[in-house]
Chain A
Amino acid sequence: MTLRTEPFVLNMGPVHPSTHGVFRMRVTLDGEVVVNLEPVFGYLHRGIEKLAEERTYTGIVPLTDRLDYVASMTNNLAYCLAVEKLAGIKVPERAEYLRVIMSELQRIAAHLISIGSFFNDCGAYFTPFLYMFRERERIVDLLEMVSGQRLLYNYMRPGGVSQDIPEEFLPALKEALNQMPKYIDEYERLLKDNEILYARARGVGILPKEMAISIGASGPVLRGCGVKWDIRKVDPYSIYDRFEFDIPTGTQGDCYDRYRVRVEEMKQSLRIIEQAIKQIPAGSIRSDVPQLIRPPVGEAYAHLEAPTGELGFYLVSDGSIAPYRCHIRAPSLMNLTALRDMIVGWKVQDLILIFGSFAITMGEVDR
């Protein structure tokens, strides 16, 4: 005798503990197994691209903070790179170093959140999450010292950065750099070799290399598949060609690899910051840019390696004080397109885990 079963439609989200914001997944279940998944975006759509068309070039910087709100600095930088390309603005040497230091600090802070919430989705009851927030606090303190706020920094400007660092910043940064490896080591001991994490994350949610490339995935999701692709190396922006660092890659592209890639990237970021502190010159921090920038008619695309992947800004200028069009290439959204193919066939619990291993921020997906 066979039992008659029927699929079971479960609406996960938009308000759900593990959807990292307001994301909805319409999941069809056969028992515990996911047979189909339909992502529903747009609950956090604020129309940032449209709003940008009505603001001055400088006034868009605070908007970019609100894209991937755990990585504001890199968003600012990506936008400023695009404006500088569009208007042909030169950036002073010291500002370039400050930008590198800030965006690498930001990368560590964002990866700490990503890893922490990934473990939280695994069900490690908030412990790694809170440990990582404790260390993120050290970085956020430093960024607060420089920019005046703790989350939405609004620090970079077309043509440089808004303010120079205070004199107490560099000693504090060195102290933080001394402490960070110890804490990263603590996370490694906490969960790296954990058997339950092995069983849960290894071999789960494999993203094949070919598929990752064909959907345009980037960041740790792509590097977890073993593709050595990092914008900092393949198309060095700012002054990244002056630093020495490695691109950590995974082997098979499962959740565990993505987690490992993030941890290794934090170590590489620490290396970059150490080199930058040694080389940082004195000088001005902002080139002479008029308050209302009027770039010549044209278009520009600038991209960089944000914590989630390749973040790009495409700006079209019609010669006025506001861009004619601003398009944002959001890495989280690109990465998420693989979601259905990766999840079908796994169980509900794996769904949460795989979704968590992308470390998306809904602010960036919906914009």
Chain B
Amino acid sequence: MVNFLGKGILKGMVVTFTNLIRPSPTTQYPEQRLTVSRRIRGTELVWSKTKCTGCATCARTCPQGVIHVVTHKGENNNYAVDTFEVDSGYCIHCGLCVEACPYNALFMGYTFERSKYRRNSLVMSKDDMAIEHQPASGYFHPEIAQTLPEQELLVYRGKKK
């Protein structure tokens, strides 16, 4: 092949032209949505009232120290949880609390669209986090992960799996 000034430029221009014709991998977010990972660490914590014993392992594990647990002694020699608050404004969604929970009472959330208008509405109470209200993610909970839809991957785009 002859080497001349502009050969590399022409090769590059062929590449950009092929991309002009090739469909773009973009998905247009609010209308088209991709299914997220089954293990997504979503924007909120999900808490199960029935399973939680108030041991506060999560609060000790949290690197940010944003989990606030207050208990009192209940009737069957166990703890009754008075307060279970998470300031999700400080939460870094590391998932360590979910890993640490010995009673499988804490889950990461499955959704990611939880922006709020007020700073103080980011502080989530027991009721905000109740598992009855919102879907839980399969992070560290394989039994939940199996029930969630499979993640859409870019590698399979435009291909039969």
Chain A interface residues (CB < 8 Å from chain B): 55-56, 58-63, 65, 127, 131, 134, 137-138, 141-142, 144-149, 152, 154, 162-163, 166, 168, 172, 175-176, 179, 186, 189-198, 291
Contact = CB atoms under 8 A, between A and B. Distances in A.
Most-contacted residue by chain A among B57, B137, B150, B153 (CB, 10 A)? B153
B9 interface: yes
Contacts of B139: 148, 163
Interface stretch (B10-18, B72-80, B121-129): B10-18
Contact of A141 (B94, B140, B151): B151
B61 A291 contact: yes
B77 to A, nearest CB: 24
Nearest to B139: A148
Contacts of B49: none
Nearest to A174: B155
Contacts of B100: 291
B155 A168 contact: no
Given A60-B63, A141-B154, 10 more contacts: A58-B96, A59-B96, A134-B154, A141-B155, A149-B93, A172-B155, A189-B11, A195-B5, A196-B9, A198-B8
Given A144-B37, A148-B39, A195-B6, A172 B63 contact: no
A145 B37 contact: yes
28 contacts: A59-B63, A59-B96, A60-B63, A127-B16, A131-B19, A137-B25, A138-B153, A141-B151, A141-B154, A141-B155, A144-B39, A144-B40, A145-B151, A145-B153, A148-B37, A148-B139, A152-B92, A154-B96, A162-B95, A166-B39, A172-B153, A175-B155, A176-B155, A189-B11, A189-B14, A190-B16, A192-B8, A193-B7
Given A137-B25, A154-B95, A190 B150 contact: no
B39 A147 contact: yes
Interface string B130-150: 000000010110000100001
Interface residues of B, number: 41
Interface string B19-35: 10000010000000000
Given A144-B151, A154-B94, A189 B12 contact: yes
A198 B156 CA distance: 36
Contacts of B41: 148-149
A58 B100 CA distance: 10
Contacts of B14: 189
A146 B140 CA distance: 11
A98 to B, nearest CB: 14
Contacts of B8: 191-195, 197-198
Contacts of A63: 63
A146 B39 contact: yes
Nearest to A185: B15
A142 B95 CA distance: 18
B114 to A, nearest CB: 15
A199 B9 CA distance: 12
Contacts of A56: 61, 63
Nearest to B13: A190
Top 8 closest pairs, chain A to chain B, by CB = A193-B8, A59-B63, A62-B94, A148-B39, A194-B8, A148-B41, A190-B15, A144-B37
A59 B154 contact: no
A291 B41 CA distance: 21
Contact of B25 (A60, A134, A147, A175): A134
Contacts of B137: 148
Contacts of B151: 141, 144-145, 168
Nearest to A171: B161
B15 A189 contact: yes
A291 B96 CA distance: 10
Contacts of A190: 11-12, 15-16
B45 to A, nearest CB: 13
